[in-house]
Amino acid sequence: MAGIQYLGKRCPFSSNCPVFHGTLIVEKAPLMLIKNVFCNRGIKGWKNCVRFQLAETEDEVPSTATPYKKQ
């Protein structure tokens, strides 16, 4: 099913991620590019995202963390 396939490729933290929702602006790249490179790319993309790495290993993710920096 297409829906399930899509969910499998989108980052599991996306629903609570301010980068994904565009409320935390990343100056380095446009949001569409970030989503293509990290958020919607499946595990290979997520693993390259610093914010994802923090979400997996830390109890709290700094509010300003992005795919490129810890805070």
Which has the closest alpha carbon to 40: 1, 3, 7, 2? 7
Can you list the positions of beta strands (E) in the chain?
A: none
Q: Is 37 in the site for ligand SF4 (CB under 6 A)?
A: no
Q: Is 6 in the site for ligand SF4 (CB under 6 A)?
A: no
Q: How far apart are CA 6 and CA 26, in angstroms?
A: 24
Q: Is 27 in the site for ligand SF4 (CB under 6 A)?
A: no
CB of residue 55 to ligand SF4, shortest distance in Å: 6
CB of residue 71 to ligand SF4, shortest distance in Å: 14
